[in-house]
Amino acid sequence: MALPWEIVIVVAASYLVGSIPASYIAGRWLRGIDLREHGSGNLGAANAFRVLGFGAAVPVLLFDIGKGFAAVFLMPGFFGGGTALALLAALAVVLGHNYSLFVRFSGGKGVGTTAGAFLALAPAATAMCFALWIATLLVTRIVSVASIAGAVFLPFSIVIADRAFGLRTHDAVTGLACAVALIVIVKHRSNISRLRAGTEKRLF
């Protein structure tokens, strides 16, 4: 069982890693702009694509996925690993991305970082969600719809992957998947309102 000081270090370090705002940095570096004041105002890869273009959005997305993966895969390892520390690292890195210390607690919607975190926790399930995300995006051309669909499917994909591949994912991982799915949906509430009004923009 992790010691209290180990928990504090893992949570704090994961939150700080998650707080690194790749899209904000890209906006400042490439255009000298604050991405929160352009496009949708969201500090995520989709808004980076709309405002800065494909060449900026891809590194932003890869960085967001990478920091989620690194926090879960590496941070707990310094203290001998363990499911509890991995789950805390996953939650902390997602919250760091969504509510970044470096940009006055604003941030993205956590989709890329959640994908990275669960790539470390449940890779087969995450691959299934990614396939659904791609398929939904190609059909609807709306990032928010694809992101919500992927998030909602995440807990179910863990159960499906366990049964299909004979895996034994800890029940707490499925519980965290439900929690982060809820976070993603809450962060997309403005998108949901626009979807209902028929005003949500298509990515391409």
Whole-Å CA distances, 180 to 49, 61, 77: 24, 18, 22
pTM of the model: 0.95
**Does residue 79 have a pLDDT over 90?**
no
pLDDT digits (tens, 9 = 90+) for 141-173: 999 999 999 999 999 999 999 999 999 999 999
pLDDT digits (tens, 9 = 90+) for 5-45: 999 999 999 999 999 999 999 999 999 999 999 999 999 99
Domain assignments of the chain as residue spans, ordered by start: 4-197
